[in-house]
Amino acid sequence: MTSQPRQLIINADDLGYDPAVSDGILRAMTEGLVTSATLMVNTPYAAEAARRARHLAVGLHLNLARWRPLSTAIPEALLRGGELSETNATRLPAAAVFAEARAQVAEAERLLRRPPTHVDVHKHLHRNANVLEGLAAAARELRLPVRSIDPDMRAALAGAGIRTPRTFLGDAGVEPYWTVERFRAALESLPEGLTELMCHPGYAPSEVRTGYARQREVEMQTFLHPGARAVIERLDIQLVDFRALSS
């Protein structure tokens, strides 16, 4: 049996979350190994981030956890002060998720002046069945690939006719996830076919208050590190973006 090439999408989440975060993501894309990013479109900083990223591969980072919704489908009872809530997102009806996903995709297209390359979800809220159902319906209608984070989700999306990478890597927590050492180890065991590696590079946020700051700077330096690029080249791994799912 002929082996498949090892292809890797390195996707930076949270473009548009904060100006300094966007600065770091764009640097990691233009100077480093990051091949793709996902844009949050309902933040105060989305328009400027999108303007600067129009020449790059950018998808939608569907945000159901913070800031104002872009559709009128979200029940008022599930908003807090008119804004989305991470806690209440788990209770959103699938129909509301469908409408909000379509609205955010349309806003991404308006800001980027082209369709987004794919969709993923802030805080992985599509682990919840209602969110996945609504998102899958929108993605199927709009013919957009979707991030899958485990085998069950991958099977559900594939069964609905939605394109998704074969493998997913990445996490976010108290400590930076992608150090150079962990990145090298992941690449050494990278399977054949298409893998998405999620990351969160960036400078420490300048406007948004969050405890997730130093972790971004460590990851940004990983994807700028000459040693990380050398491993990619040594292992003959092809760096691609979500458009590889259409080829």
Q: For the domain that residue 13 is a member of, what is the CATH number?
A: 3.20.20.370
Has residue 158 been placed in a domain?
yes
Has residue 47 been placed in a domain?
yes
Specify which residues 199 forms β-bridges with. 12
Has residue 232 been placed in a domain?
yes
Has residue 1 been placed in a domain?
no
Rounded to whole angstroms, the Cα distance separating 106 from 178 reads 32
pLDDT over threshold 70, residue 140: yes
Sign, CA torsion 140/145/147/153: positive
Has residue 17 been placed in a domain?
yes
Has residue 142 been placed in a domain?
yes
Per DSSP, the three-state class of 77 is helix
Residues 167-221: tens digit of each pLDDT: 999 987 778 789 999 999 999 999 999 999 999 999 999 999 888 889 999 999 9
Rounded to whole angstroms, the Cα distance separating 70 from 99 reads 9
Has residue 185 been placed in a domain?
yes
Confidence label for 146 from pLDDT (cuts 50, 70 and 90)? very high
Total-model pTM: 0.96
Rg (CA), the chain: 17
User: Which domain does 230 fall in, by range?
Assistant: 6-246
* Count of domains for the chain: 1
Has residue 234 been placed in a domain?
yes
Residue-level pLDDT at 176: 79
Tokens, residue 183: 């990145």
Residue-level pLDDT at 173: 74
